[in-house]
């Protein structure tokens, strides 16, 4: 998936997806055709801090304003999410975000149906081939993981918050702060150890490493593929392809529409 074009005419005839990638340092978005290719240049703004839900929603409205029309929305969020709600938001403050109905609130503002998923899992949808056990590790402000078996998303593994020896959590061990504090060489050794731990835990067939710091990896281990950061956006279209009650579909907002516009858009998408 991927590819950028400044012309809407290059997009396909199917439903268009507004894909939003929420990161600890930046908010990014583009509009995708039915194949997951970008039909508009990616837009980006810095993530505001402090960032309670209302600030985030207002920032996202500003972010997507210049983009072409779309029929539905996919959002990758850096935390644990379920049924359209945020469960944890380690970068933005867990207390203020806990149980916030993010998908429904964003749907109300944008007038389109919204699906919400962990950002590493969205990136996984942008790169997996659907065979065997495929694992995603994202390296940015923190660390994120996603696990897929034969193309189906497995239960979320919040490895970023898991303890690792005396170093704290994986966020502390291979996150951006560790890179800046320890330097690229020591950080690379930490990434290599993290890959070894993941293999011992999951015995994956392939591990994809993405995120803003993936390009700083100097030695790529066997069965590891470095993937472009754009996958955090281009994977958004596949959130709308899982059967009801399975995989990504289980994480969408409840069927109750946020607005009459969203009802109409949802019906059009279902018929496509």
User: What mean pLDDT comes out for the span 13-17?
Assistant: 87
Q: Would you say 70 and 18 are in contact if contact means Cβ atoms under 8 Å apart?
A: yes
Residues β-bridged to residue 116: 75
Q: DSSP secondary-structure letter at 38? A: B
pLDDT digits (tens, 9 = 90+) for 152-188: 999 888 887 888 888 888 989 999 999 999 999 999 9
Nearest to 227 by CA among 151, 155, 157, 139: 139
The torsion angles phi and psi of 73, rounded to 5 degrees, stand at -135, 135
Between 244 and 47, where is the model more confident?
47
pLDDT given at position 243: 57
The angle, 0 to 180 degrees and rounded to 10, between the axes of the packed helices 53-64 and 102-110 is: 40
Mean pLDDT, the chain, whole residue set: 85
Q: With a threshold of 0.85, does the pTM exceed it?
A: no
Question: Quick check: 208 pLDDT over 80?
Answer: yes
pLDDT given at position 132: 96
pLDDT grade, residue 242 (50/70/90)? Answer: low
């Amino acid at each position: 998936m991927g590819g950028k074009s400044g012309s809407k005419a290059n997009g396909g005839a199917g439903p268009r997806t507004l894909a939003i990638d929420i990161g600890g340092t930046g908010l990014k978005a583009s509009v995708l055709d039915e194949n997951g290719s970008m039909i508009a240049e990616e837009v980006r703004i810095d993530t505001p801090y402090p960032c309670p839900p209302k600030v985030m929603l207002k920032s996202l409205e500003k972010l997507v304003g210049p983009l072409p029309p779309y029929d539905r929305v996919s959002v990758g969020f850096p935390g644990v999410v379920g049924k359209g709600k945020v469960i944890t938001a380690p970068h933005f403050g867990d207390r203020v975000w806990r149980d916030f109905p993010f998908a429904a609130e964003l749907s109300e503002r944008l007038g389109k149906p919204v699906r919400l998923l962990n950002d590493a899992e969205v990136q996984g949808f942008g790169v997996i081939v659907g065979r065997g056990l495929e694992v995603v590790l994202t390296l940015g402000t923190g660390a994120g993981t996603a696990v897929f078996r034969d193309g189906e998303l497995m239960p979320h593994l919040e490895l970023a918050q898991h303890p690792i020896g005396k170093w704290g959590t994986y966020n502390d061990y291979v996150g951006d702060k560790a890179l800046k504090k320890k330097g690229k060489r020591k950080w690379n050794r930490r990434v290599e150890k993290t890959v070894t731990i993941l293999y011992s835990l999951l015995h994956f067939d392939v591990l994809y490493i993405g995120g803003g710091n993936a390009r700083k990896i100097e030695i790529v281990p066997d069965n590891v593929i470095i993937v472009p950061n754009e996958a955090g956006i281009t994977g958004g279209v596949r959130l709308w392809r899982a059967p009801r009650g399975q995989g990504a579909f289980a994480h969408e907002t409840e069927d109750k529409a946020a607005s009459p516009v969203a009802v109409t858009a949802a019906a059009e998408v279902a018929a496509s």
